[in-house]
């Protein structure tokens, strides 16, 4: 039978070669392609094979940022992809590295835009890209027991800042969002909850998981604010004592008729959902949240205002699910609060005089210069309910200069900032007085050649940085100094 097939194939081959080629027939290149295909099949038949030849494709996995790391088994596939990108002029490196880094991600986006313009350029290789690379001969395999994990769907959990992955063989998995691993919770064989990185911007991001079975397929999650939601402001304390209750207010704007949901992640993996509220007109509305912390530490509080979102439908049992895109219509922002110990205690003169390298208010700067702190005043200069410090800072080298510094106790550290333009130098100038009133610092200085000037400052805390902004300056020139 095998011999008969061989003779039959040889006869067909010869008949094709003898067919005259005309302008109405196939081209010479088509004819050569047919001969090559028949020759390959005849070679298999000679070895007793009865299976037709199916070309193998190198690209069988989704590939994205971070792939090719040691142990994931994707380095050869990434190298093959890089060869394509290098040859096409999309990736400017000499040889493949096997690592899917930022340069490769940018090159893939360029390649996608040039070759598959009908599909969004994500910078990651998915089903459509593999089909193009392989000439549409590579089927996407449905999940098979014992193989890599599989994601059926990714969606935003309503009234929460978390997202959820549902799929198969997800146990002990790490979740990768845009190529970087993220925090997870409630990991099981069929479900994982995870948090995207802080302050993630609008866009489409690849999501996949990895565990001992391997790497899963990639699902693209679109996070966007297509509903016109805007967070106008967030106000609240930057520091609290352990057990002290803080109050935060979130002001947001949305189009008329939008149903809004307010959510807060307190940084303890505790989320607080507010009741969804219908916005009757496109004006700002405010929601208030309170919270206290039982342990000291620095916490990042994330606020989110959401509108109804489009989530991926669950995948029917036993069915293959194509890549799904979930759209999260929301606006997000965050701030930091420091909790615990003496983080929010009133600062003391002793703490100021023995901080930042000073001992009893004095510090040697180098062999020829020194600095010292004096005339400490304690007052609530930023209206946060705790006392801060104001002091004269004197620095002496060849000559001496004086300026006013503000001090604040935060996280066990003494923060300080110089009040700009408050420096005086020489016998002709002097700091006359320093005081605090209505949340402002007032510095009065005397210049014996120009008169008296009054400076006002606003001292604020931004994260862990103390800032001082000069908001006004008034100079009073004595009448005898006025030149007409």
Q: How many Å apart are CA 143 and CA 151, to the nearest integer?
A: 9
Compute the 3-state secondary structure of the chain and give helix, strand, coil in percent, each to the nearest 5: 15, 40, 45
* Residue (of 352, 366, 327, 332) closest to 406 by Cα position: 352
Average pLDDT over every residue of 135-145: 44
* pLDDT value, residue 310: 47
Q: How many Å apart are CA 85 and CA 96, to the nearest integer?
A: 9
pLDDT digits (tens, 9 = 90+) for 413-435: 788 999 988 888 876 788 888 99
Q: Please name the residue that has the structure tokens 């959401």.
A: 306
pLDDT digits (tens, 9 = 90+) for 455-467: 999 998 876 788 8
For residue 202, pLDDT beyond 70? no
pLDDT band at 35 (very low <50, low <70, confident <90, very high): low
Asked whether residue 125 is domain-assigned, the answer is no
Average pLDDT, the chain: 74
- The tally of domains found in the chain comes to 3
* pLDDT value, residue 369: 85
Same domain, 467 and 370: yes
Asked whether residue 391 is domain-assigned, the answer is yes
pLDDT band at 326 (very low <50, low <70, confident <90, very high): very low
Same domain, 364 and 291: no
pLDDT digits (tens, 9 = 90+) for 346-389: 788 988 998 888 888 898 887 788 899 999 999 988 887 788 99
Evaluate if pTM is beyond 0.85: no
Q: Please name the residue that has the structure tokens 């949305």.
A: 254
442 vs 429: which has the higher pLDDT: 442
Q: Exposure of 68 by Cβ count < 10 A (0-12 exposed, 13-18 middle, 19+ buried)?
A: buried
* pLDDT value, residue 378: 93
Same domain, 365 and 436: yes
pLDDT digits (tens, 9 = 90+) for 225-270: 555 778 888 888 887 777 788 888 888 887 766 677 788 888 875 4
What's the CATH code of the domain at 260? 2.70.50.60
Same domain, 448 and 392: yes
The residue range of the domain holding 375 is 349-481
377 vs 39: which has the higher pLDDT: 377
Q: Exposure of 464 by Cβ count < 10 A (0-12 exposed, 13-18 middle, 19+ buried)?
A: middle
């Amino acid at each position: 039978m095998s011999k008969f097939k061989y003779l039959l194939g040889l006869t067909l081959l010869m008949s094709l070669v003898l067919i005259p080629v005309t302008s109405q027939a196939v081209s010479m290149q088509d004819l050569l392609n047919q001969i090559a295909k028949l020759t390959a099949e005849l070679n298999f038949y000679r070895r007793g094979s009865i299976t037709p030849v199916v070309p193998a494709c190198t690209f069988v996995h989704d590939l994205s940022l971070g792939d090719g790391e040691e142990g994931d088994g994707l380095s050869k596939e990434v190298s093959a992809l890089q060869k394509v990108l290098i040859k096409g002029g999309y990736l400017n490196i000499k040889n493949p590295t096997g690592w899917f880094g930022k340069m490769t991600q940018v090159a893939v986006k360029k390649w996608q835009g040039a070759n598959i313009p009908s599909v969004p350029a994500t910078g990651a290789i998915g089903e459509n890209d593999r089909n193009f690379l392989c000439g549409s001969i590579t089927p996407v395999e449905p999940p098979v027991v014992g193989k890599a994990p599989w994601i059926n769907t990714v969606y935003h959990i309503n009234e929460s800042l978390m997202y959820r992955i549902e799929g198969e063989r997800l146990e002990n998995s790490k979740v990768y969002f845009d190529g970087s691993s993220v925090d997870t919770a409630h990991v099981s064989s069929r479900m994982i909850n995870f948090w995207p990185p802080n302050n993630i911007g609008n866009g489409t991001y690849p999501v996949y998981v990895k565990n001992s079975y391997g790497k899963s397929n990639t699902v693209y999650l679109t996070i966007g604010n297509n509903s016109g939601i805007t967070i106008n402001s967030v106000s609240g304390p930057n520091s609290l004592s352990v057990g002290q209750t803080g109050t935060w207010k979130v002001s947001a704007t949305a189009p008329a008729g939008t149903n809004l949901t307010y959510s807060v992640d307190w940084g303890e993996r505790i989320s607080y959902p507010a009741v969804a509220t219908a916005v009757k007109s496109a004006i700002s509305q405010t929601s208030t949240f309170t919270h206290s912390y039982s342990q000291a530490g620095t916490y990042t509080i994330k606020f989110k205002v959401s509108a109804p979102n489009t989530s991926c439908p669950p995948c029917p049992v036993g069915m293959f699910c194509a890549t799904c895109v979930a759209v999260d219509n929301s606006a997000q922002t965050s701030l930091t609060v420091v909790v615990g110990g003496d983080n929010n205690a009133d600062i003391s003169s002793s703490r100021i005089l023995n901080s930042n390298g000073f001992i009893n208010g004095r510090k040697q700067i180098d062999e020829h210069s020194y600095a010292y702190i004096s005339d400490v005043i304690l007052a609530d200069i930023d209206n946060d309910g705790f006392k801060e410090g104001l002091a004269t800072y004197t620095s002496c080298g060849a000559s001496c200069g004086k300026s006013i510094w503000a001090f604040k106790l935060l996280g066990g550290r003494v923060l300080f900032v110089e009040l700009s333009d408050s420096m005086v130098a020489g016998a002709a100038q002097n700091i006359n007085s320093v005081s605090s009133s209505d949340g402002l610092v007032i510095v009065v200085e005397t210049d014996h050649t120009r008169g008296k000037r009054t400076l006002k400052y606003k001292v604020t805390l931004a994260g862990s940085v103390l800032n001082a902004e000069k908001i006004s300056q008034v100079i009073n020139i004595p009448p005898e100094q006025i030149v007409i």
